[in-house]
Each structure stands twice: as C-alpha cells, then as structure tokens.
Chains A and B, each alone.
Chain A
Amino acid sequence: MDYVPHSQIPGHKIKQTGAVSLKGIKKQFNFKDRELKVLSEFSLDVQPGEFVSIVGPSGCGKSTLLRLIAGLDDTYDGTIALDGQRVAGTSLERGLVFQDHRLFPWMTLEDNIALALTNRQISKDAKAKLVADHIALVGLKGFEKAFPHQLSGGMAQRAAIARSLVNEPKVLLLDEPFGALDALTRVHLQGELQRIWLAQGSTMIMITHDVEEALYLGDRVVVMQANPGRITHTVDVNLPHPRDRASPVLHKLKDEILAELTNVPEPSNPIVRLIKGDDQ
C-alpha cells in the first residue's frame, strides 16, 4: 500500500493504539417480513491515529456502521476489532459524536461532560481536571456553567466533542457531526476538529454527506453506495495537515468523488472520464 498514514507526518502525535479492523460486516434489518440488506461484506482497516472519512448517499448504511463499531448494536455478521480485540458492547475506548449534540438539557456543560466519566475509577480531582482540560481543548472555557439551550448549535456540538473525548478514547466515531450546523460554523468547526485531532491523536472515523469536508479532514476517504451498503472506492489524500481548503488536489478529488456519487458522467471533466473509464 502506498498510503502514508498521517500519524507518520511530523507534528502529529504518534499513537500506537487505535487500529480498527472491520472484516466482512453484514447487517440486515427485518422490515415487515422483508429482509433489508443494509451492509454487505464491508471490510476496512484503519491505522492507529488515522482520520478516515466515509461518504455515501442516504441509506447506504454508514450510520449503521458507526453504531456497530460503537457497540450500540450487536446484531451483525463479521468481526469488528479494536487493536486486535473483538468489540462487544459499548466501551469507553470508543467514543461517538452524533449529528445532534445529545447534551442533557438539565445539566450544565461541565456536568454533561462529567457524566461521561461516571464509570471511571479516578479521583474527583482527576475527573475535574479532565473535564476542564477538554472544555479548554474545544475552546469553551468560560461556559462551564452554561446550560445547553444557552449555547449556539456550534458550541453545543463542540461540547459534545469534548464529552466524547474526555475518556481519551482510542477511536472517535463521528456521525455527521456538523450536518446540522450552518455553513460558516461548519467550516469553522472542521478546522477545529482538525486541530483537536492533531493535538489529541485519536483514530477518527467520520461519516459525512459533505465530500469537501471528507477530503479536507480525511487521510483517506471511503466512498460507499447503497442497496446494499458497500465500499465502491477508496481515495487516499496524501496532503499534510493542516490543509489548505483551496488546494487544487482537493478540488480534483472532490469532482471525482461527486461524479461517482451522483453517477452522472461529465464528459467535460477529463478526470471523471479517466476514473470512470468511459472515455471512448
């Protein structure tokens, strides 16, 4: 594989843990006596500290996939392993950020984050320090006592990221984390996530609809198709972080992926023709 994981790029914290291995994942839902295949033979290996983006149309099973890795759903065929250990149920080693922030409205920001630490056997002071550090990491210092409804959508999502990172998980799963935010906030938070990832070094697997976001953040972009959900294509993005959004490489790759997702060949675009092999 000629892919260079960015954990090996200077400046990025090198992690030895957080390798996610998905082998032959099959998942189906039974819907009114009909079997609905959601995932079929999905296999993917993610390196420690790698940022993998998964893009695909609605209904391609990408959210289901994250729920399986997180351990919220245990009914599937195949194996999911973290650092060689098969996953079973939820674990503090695997964090998950949802599209909605899912903060509890009756708790302050710091209480919300501290809730994630209820199962950790560490001293109260150590917990308080972890909470404070992670509030600082996501840039929410000064809002510790704020309730979720007092925060903007972007701030609430930062808080959700802090909550999911407070246990220092080996892998952070992000399910369209910025999907519900306005365009400007989204761009801003993408930059923030990149900074957090570089500072923190967890493996990250992010689901998104936004191809530009997938490319801007990902070391690798996995393209999925629906019915049944499967990988059709993987794109390595060999650009150092932090990245320049205006990079022509990103734009080329974006056109390529979009063309595949929308499945409309664009004769005017030589790259698309090249990729799709229909340049006759």
Chain B
Amino acid sequence: MKPDLKLILSVGSPLLLLIVWQAVTAFKLFPPEVLVSPTAVIAAFGEVITTGELQRHLSESLTRLAGGFTTGASLGLLFGLALALSKTVERVFGPTFQALRQVPVLAFIPMLILLLGIDEVFKIVIIAKAAFFPVALAAYDSVKGVPKSYFEVSSLYRAPWWVLISKILIPATIPNILAGVRLSLTRSWLVLVAAELIVADSGLGQMMEMGRQMFRLDIVMVGVIVAGVIGFALDRLFQLLQAHALRWKTA
C-alpha cells in the first residue's frame, strides 16, 4: 500500500466520524441537551482553554497519574521480582496476589472511600493499585521465563552476580516488563479518569462531571476527547521508549 493511501485511510475514519456527528446534530436527530455538535465542542474547547480551566484540571490529573503510577509500577516491579526470585515470597503471597489481581480496580472504590476518604491519598492509591498488578505480573512472568541456558552460560564464565543481573537478567526481562509497564500506564489513566468522575474536587473527570451536572454536554465532550488524546499520547510515548530500549532487536 502506498504511504499516501495509508495516511488517507487512517485520517479518513476519524474524519468520517466527525462528519457523521456534525450531520446528525445539524439534522437535529437528537436533542442538543443529549448530543452537542462538533462546532459547539470546539467552541467549548476555546472557552475552557481561555479560562485556564482545562489546563488546571489536566495538570491536576497528570500529577495524580504521575504519583500513583510511579508508586504502583515501582512497587509492582519490586513485588513481581521478589515473587519470582524467592520461593518463600511466592509461597506466602502468590495465591493472594493471583486472587486479588482478578478483582476489578473499580470494585475497590467503595471500600477505599470508607478507609481513606475522598482525598488525594485515595486517588493515588487507586491508581497505584491499577498500575501495580500488570507490572508485578509482567516482572514475575518474565523472570520466571528467563531460559536456564542464560544462567548456565553465566555460570560457565563465572560472571559475578552484578554482571548476571545487569548484563543478562535485565536485558532478558526488559521487553516483557516494559510491555507490562505500558499496559499499566494506560490502565492507570483509565482508572484515574473514572475515579475522578465518581469522587474528586478537581481533575479532568471532575470537569466532565461538573459539565454533566450543569447540562454542559459540550464540556463533557471536551473531556472525552482530551481523555482519549492523552491516553493515546501516553501510549505512543511509551511505545517510543520501548523501541529505544529494544533497539538491538531491529539493529
């Protein structure tokens, strides 16, 4: 396929969606309180940007994401490594870990609200929880999956333990761990917006919730679009990082 055609196809589908959306609102198929037109959304965009509302909520959300995601992902990494490397840790925490990771993050919200209230800590904890499990699982699986032959080669040349870790174990597990981190990053973002919709006094989700309460569906739509674009951008950024870390694969 020609690059031009590829571009047209990938830009074409969102464009088509936009046209259909505009047409539906132009013919008033739904009342404007339910479905606002794209032009109204663009206007609302301008409004929330000039008042600085969007920037404020977005930076609140992203700060929360950074805090929760970093905490959750690092703890997940450490826990996953410990689970894979220590038989004792695996015996003690393995079954609990496997059971807890099956519980949807959002199912913890009522309990966490009772325990932590609806303050910042609650949001950080809920995002950390979302980030923790994919990374822990990826770290656990990838260390367990390191071929025995790698350890044998290292043993043959009597490589010191720090060489084993830095030159063999980390490069061998990093592709899967990064994939887990990427999944946990996008999940954290989803959970964050959802949590803010339910309980928050600031953030992108809260902006949308306030919009809904004031029948400002145009602002809700701005939130939907921004949430999508941010999620997409985070994923893409991480993909670039991944490609950089794994460049030996394609060199």
Query: Beta-carbon contacts of B129-166 to A below 8 Å, as 1s and 0s?
Result: 00000000000000000000110110111111001000
Beyond A115-B157, A119-B157, 20 extra complex contacts between A and B, CB < 8 Å:
A70-B156, A72-B152, A90-B155, A90-B158, A92-B158, A100-B149, A102-B150, A104-B150, A104-B153, A104-B168, A105-B248, A106-B172, A106-B248, A106-B249, A107-B171, A115-B153, A115-B163, A118-B167, A119-B160, A150-B251
Chain A residues with a Cβ under 8 A of chain B: 70, 72, 90-92, 95-96, 98, 100, 102, 104-107, 115-119, 147, 150, 167
Given A104-B168, A106-B171, A115-B167, is A96 in contact with B160 using a C-beta cutoff of 8 Å?
no
User: Are B167 and A107 interface neighbours, CB within 8 A?
Assistant: yes
- Provide the bound-state CA to CA distance between A70 and B153, in Å: 11
- Provide the bound-state CA to CA distance between A23 and B194, in Å: 71
Q: How close is A127's CB to chain B, nearest CB, in angstroms?
A: 13
Q: How close is A123's CB to chain B, nearest CB, in angstroms?
A: 17
CB closest chain-A residue, reference B150 = A104
Query: Nearest 3 CB-CB pairs, A to B?
Result: A116-B157, A106-B171, A119-B158
User: Are A118 and B168 interface neighbours, CB within 8 A?
Assistant: no
A70, A98, A117, A167: the one contacting B149 at CB < 8 Å is A98
Q: How close is A244's CB to chain B, nearest CB, in angstroms?
A: 35
Given A104-B150, A104-B171, is A147 in contact with B159 using a C-beta cutoff of 8 Å?
no
- Provide the bound-state CA to CA distance between A106 and B172, in Å: 8
User: Are A102 and B153 interface neighbours, CB within 8 A?
Assistant: yes
Query: Beta-carbon contacts of B153-191 to A below 8 Å, as 1s and 0s?
Result: 101111110010001100110000000000000000000
Residues of B within 8 A of A107 (CB): 167, 171, 248
User: Are A118 and B163 interface neighbours, CB within 8 A?
Assistant: yes
- Provide the bound-state CA to CA distance between A102 and B151, in Å: 11
Residues of A within 8 A of B158 (CB): 90-92, 119
B156, B163, B251: the one contacting A72 at CB < 8 Å is B156
Secondary structure dominating the interface of A? loop
Given A72-B152, A104-B150, A104-B168, is A92 in contact with B248 using a C-beta cutoff of 8 Å?
no
User: Are B156 and A118 interface neighbours, CB within 8 A?
Assistant: no
CB closest chain-A residue, reference B159 = A118
Residues of A within 8 A of B150 (CB): 102, 104
Residues of A within 8 A of B167 (CB): 104, 107, 115, 118
- Provide the bound-state CA to CA distance between A149 and B160, in Å: 26
User: Are A167 and B171 interface neighbours, CB within 8 A?
Assistant: no
Q: How close is A50's CB to chain B, nearest CB, in angstroms?
A: 22
**Residues 209-251 of B contacting A (Cβ, < 8 Å):** 248-249, 251
Q: How close is A150's CB to chain B, nearest CB, in angstroms?
A: 8
- Provide the bound-state CA to CA distance between A147 and B149, in Å: 19
User: Are B149 and A102 interface neighbours, CB within 8 A?
Assistant: yes
Specify which of A100, A106, A117 lies most central, judged by the most chain B CB atoms within 10 Å of its CB: A106
Q: How close is B245's CB to chain A, nearest CB, in angstroms?
A: 10
- Provide the bound-state CA to CA distance between A92 and B156, in Å: 7
- Provide the bound-state CA to CA distance between A102 and B251, in Å: 19
Residues of A within 8 A of B153 (CB): 102, 104, 115
Sample (14) of A-B pairs whose CB atoms are under 8 Å apart: A72-B155, A90-B158, A92-B158, A100-B149, A104-B171, A106-B248, A115-B153, A115-B157, A115-B163, A118-B159, A118-B163, A118-B167, A119-B158, A147-B251
- Provide the bound-state CA to CA distance between A90 and B154, in Å: 10
- Provide the bound-state CA to CA distance between A40 and B171, in Å: 41
A92, A98, A100, A106: the one contacting B157 at CB < 8 Å is A92
Residues of B within 8 A of A115 (CB): 153, 157, 159, 163, 167
User: Are A118 and B160 interface neighbours, CB within 8 A?
Assistant: yes
Q: How close is B148's CB to chain A, nearest CB, in angstroms?
A: 10
- Provide the bound-state CA to CA distance between A74 and B239, in Å: 45
Residues of A within 8 A of B248 (CB): 105-107, 147
Residues of B within 8 A of A116 (CB): 156-157
Residues of A within 8 A of B171 (CB): 104, 106-107
Residues of B within 8 A of A117 (CB): 157
CB closest chain-A residue, reference B245 = A106
Specify which of A70, A95, A98, A118 lies most central, judged by the most chain B CB atoms within 10 Å of its CB: A118
- Provide the bound-state CA to CA distance between A105 and B251, in Å: 11
Residues of A within 8 A of B160 (CB): 118-119
Q: How close is A91's CB to chain B, nearest CB, in angstroms?
A: 7
Q: How close is A195's CB to chain B, nearest CB, in angstroms?
A: 24
CB closest chain-A residue, reference B152 = A72
- Provide the bound-state CA to CA distance between A118 and B167, in Å: 11
Specify which of B150, B155, B156, B167 lies most central, judged by the most chain A CB atoms within 10 Å of its CB: B156
User: Are A90 and B156 interface neighbours, CB within 8 A?
Assistant: yes
CB closest chain-A residue, reference B149 = A102
- Provide the bound-state CA to CA distance between A70 and B157, in Å: 11
